[in-house]
Amino acid sequence: MAETSLSRTRRARRMNAELARIHPDAHCELDFRTPLELTVATILSAQTTDKMVNSVTPTLFARYPTAADYAGADPAEMEALLTPTGFFRAKTRSVIGLGQALVERYGGEVPAKLADLVTLPGIGRKTANVVLGNAFGIPGITADTHFQRLVRRWAWTAETDPVKIEHAVGPLIPRMEWTILSHRVIFHGRRVCHARKPACGACALATWCPSYGDGPVDRDVAAKLIKGPDSAARARAAALGLPVRTPDELAELAMEQSA
């Protein structure tokens, strides 16, 4: 029997609540202090890891603190800084172009509207939603590759186009949670629900997941697939329905037990 839109919404909201429980540390993993820094970091994150971007941006942000600094940057100097992130020539053009556009059109400030952001060099809808949600507190869904893969695996939608996925998932979850939902799903994709071998047997979402069994269902086998801080303990706790503690909470508990 086909799932109704109402039952899909209820299932999605239960899964979102469980994601909140098992990933209380979900957050934007790009380091930034200002909307401009986040915009640049997100552009640089294409085809590389957040960790790699975070290793480059302290020097970059110190060298180019304003949009005007990016606008007037020497391409060769910036390329040298961005080389570790890959596609450094294209990224250099985008970042310099971003600085120029911000100075010319927005007084050097990053605009807080989706329609404006997507007109800027190097910024598509996904990047714009990252900036809006994390720098301005304006809810948005970031349909990156992890998000797209998981919401299809969970049968929240069958769409394959990122914009259509965004519009299909949005009504399932309260708008105020769109940004944190994106982080929770991305964390789950990186830590538990891997593309080739999801850790089904150690996944707290198994009850609601129509793809349960795509990966190993044995709890101990699946737990070994979990990635992230204190991964094995978190995986086993989630599988057993026990409270999932953050690394800080675990450290505090250990101190209490040793006292």
> Catalytic pick from 126, 218, 224, 227?
126
Residue whose pair of structure tokens reads 């949009």 in the numeric block: 67
Q: Catalytic residue among 69, 116, 144, 214, which? A: 144
CA dihedral sign, ordered 63, 69, 71, 77: negative
Direct distance between the N- and C-terminal alpha carbons of the chain, in angstroms, rounded to an integer: 56
Q: What is the per-residue burial (b if ≥16 Cβ within 10 Å, else e) of 11-26?
A: bbeebbebbeebbeeb
Between the alpha carbon of residue 228 and those of residues 128, 156, 188, 246, the distances in Å are 27, 25, 10, 11
Angle, CA of 53, 57 and 61, to the nearest 5°:
155
- What is the 3-state secondary structure of 41-96? HHHHCCCCCHHHHHHHHHHHHHHCCCHHHHHCCCHHHHHHHHHHHCCHHHHHHHHH
CA separation, residue 216 to residues 173, 199, 240 (Å) = 29, 6, 16
| Cα–Cα distance, 258 to 252 (Å, whole number) | 10
Q: How many residues does the chain have?
A: 259
For the chain, how big is the Rg over CA atoms in Å? Answer: 20
CA 167, CA 169: separation in Å to the nearest integer?
A: 6
144 in active site? yes
Is position 126 annotated as part of the catalytic site?
Answer: yes
Active-site amino acid positions = 126, 144
